[in-house]
């Protein structure tokens, strides 16, 4: 693969604050977008977003019939991430501070695909190292 699709969601409050969230799911992006536009997104319109925990619990209960994984969870997660972004902007603080921690440097890692052939794995690792990654997550399965 040379790319992976992502779905970005913008939430705008009545006060004009905007937050962005990501609805991960690469191949599920069209289905996640359908869930967002037809059911999940409209359920949030006009709602008070200041109590994120209560609102998200309510929405998870409301949409639990659709499962605990997949497009509905991706859609809910995208909105929740956007609500945290809004909360950080409203408080003029990084989200880490809202979560009770101090901002800190994090080491990014390369999360590789499952290549299944050792030469392909080696080439992908070399590319990641050349890009400056110091940590690499492999998804290989050894079948002997």
- Residue 62, exposed/middle/buried by CB under 10 A (0-12, 13-18, 19+)? middle
State the sign of the Cα–Cα–Cα–Cα dihedral 26, 27, 31, 34.
positive
CA atoms within 13 A on the CB side of 118: 2
State the pLDDT at residue 141: 74
Q: Which pLDDT does position 93 carry in this prediction?
A: 93
Which residues of the chain register pLDDT less than 50? none
- pLDDT score of 83: 96
Closest to 112 in 3D by CA, of 95, 135, 137: 137
Alpha carbons 85 and 89: distance in angstroms, whole number: 6
What is this structure's pTM?
Answer: 0.77
Query: Who's near 96: CB < 8 A, 6+ residues apart?
Result: 102, 103, 104
């Amino acid at each position: 693969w040379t790319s992976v699709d992502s779905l970005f969601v913008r939430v705008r409050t009545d006060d004009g604050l905007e937050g962005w969230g990501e609805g991960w799911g690469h191949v599920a992006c069209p289905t996640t977008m359908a869930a967002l536009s037809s059911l999940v997104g409209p359920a949030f319109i006009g709602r008070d977003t200041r109590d994120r925990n209560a609102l998200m619990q309510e929405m998870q209960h409301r949409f639990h019939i659709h499962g605990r994984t997949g497009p509905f969870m991706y859609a809910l997660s995208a909105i929740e991430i956007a609500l945290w972004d809004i909360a950080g902007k409203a408080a003029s603080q990084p989200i880490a501070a809202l979560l009770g921690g101090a901002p800190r440097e994090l080491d990014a890692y390369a999360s590789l695909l499952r290549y299944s052939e050792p030469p392909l794995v080696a080439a992908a690792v070399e590319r990641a190292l050349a890009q400056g990654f110091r940590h690499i997550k492999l998804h290989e399965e050894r079948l002997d």
